Amino acid sequence: MSLIDDIISKCAKKNVKLEAEEIKKAIDALDIMLTRSYSKYSNIKVACVLCFKNGDIVGGCNIENSSYSHTVCAERCAVFSSLSQGKDLSQVKAVYITSSEDSYFYPCGACRQVLKEFVSLSVPIIILKKPKNIYNGNSEVHTLGELFPCPFSL
């Protein structure tokens, strides 16, 4: 099964219909975001793209700093970029995440909280492995609610 077919199948089980062309567009955007990662301290590149119902895609990458607490994760970078561009995050259809590592990279707790602030808990989070610059053909698909079952809210 191809990577795109794997994603389509797993999203269908979450009652989300994605088209092959939009998945390919998202993966291409992930690849661009990985090249923009500033990760000279961890040497781990992370990319995230938000795909909107109207076909727009906004990406982000991790941006590290020698003062680690000032590092920004790829997911928050994508959310903040979307907001600064005037995007309506309630219209996010899917979130894609990948890294340069041979493991699935999940959003950290801070990123899950930021995503929850703006994105529906039913949105699929599609996580891909891309070790040595080659996608391995498998994906993990979870809803934001599955990854963050007890979100903080005021």
**Encoded amino acid at 76, one letter:** R
Question: Is 75 considered catalytic here?
Answer: yes
Report the C-alpha gap between 50 and 68 in whole angstroms: 25
Q: Are 61 and 45 in contact (CB under 8 A)?
A: yes
Are 71 and 54 in contact by the 8 Å Cβ rule? The answer is no
Residue 98 token pair = 């990948």
Alpha-carbon gap, residue 32 to 97, rounded angstroms: 12
- Using an 8 Å Cβ cutoff, are 97 and 26 in contact? no
- The residue from 75, 101, 117, 140 that is catalytic is 75
> Is there a contact between 106 and 148 (Cβ–Cβ < 8 Å)?
no
The CA–CA distances, whole Å, from 47 to 9, 98, 101 equal: 23, 5, 11
Which residues are known catalytic residues? 75
